[in-house]
Structure 1
């Protein structure tokens, strides 16, 4: 990760959203802050991953159809993340002055729902 304040602030915002969801935890996975529910990954923060110059959060989608639709609808915001893309994940670009944090927060929560065990969803989820 770079030391610039923008990625650090984005990580803190992602962290506060992810860890506010039921039974979540954070640990490093492949050098990136990664968020889990019941030992299943649901979000990963990446800054300059393999020198790509991007600051993103990667989240699960409902599958390849949803993934393709999101990327096609807004390719400047959604991307295909390295390693996670083949499993139906998308990356959300966290740069730009007009970033819609409500959308980012909703996508993180949706990803949590896709990874959370049934017992959490039946108990009312988020």
Structure 2
């Protein structure tokens, strides 16, 4: 299973998530975008961008810039960039994606996510 397939499975396991192509890349929605694959800049890096709770982007980028980054366009709104072409901790990715979902999903759906 590729990293993209694994990311897709993590996103689609959450309540009422849909996948559509946006800006040429797979993107996952729960009413609004919460995770987007970030391969369209063709910089030879595979990553995704996601919504993040306040302060998380700064904390993770400062602590591990080889794994996390401030994405263009949405980084100013606190979104987090996560590289998938490094050693990936999938337990952590599941938590990051769940946090992104909680940032965007309606409260009734957030209540369904442990």
TM-score, length of structure 1 as denominator length: 0.83
2:98 alignment partner in structure 1 = 109
The answer to whether the aligner puts 1:18 opposite 2:11 as a matched pair is: yes
Which blocks of at least 5 consecutive residues in structure 1 are unaligned?
1-7
Q: Say yes or no: does 1:121 pair with 2:83.
A: no
| Superposition pairs of residues 1-126 of structure 1, within 5 angstroms | 9-37=2-30, 39-47=31-39, 49-63=40-54, 65-96=55-86, 98-122=87-111, 124-126=112-114
Q: Distance in 1 between matches of 2:25 and 2:76?
A: 18
* Structure 1 runs of 4+ with >4 Å offset: none
Q: Which of the pair has more CA radius of gyration?
A: 1
Question: CA offset at residue 35 of structure 1?
Answer: 0.2
CA RMSD in angstroms, aligned pairs only:
1.5
Q: Higher helix fraction: Structure 1 or Structure 2? A: 1
TM-score, with length taken from structure 2: 0.91
Matched positions, count: 114
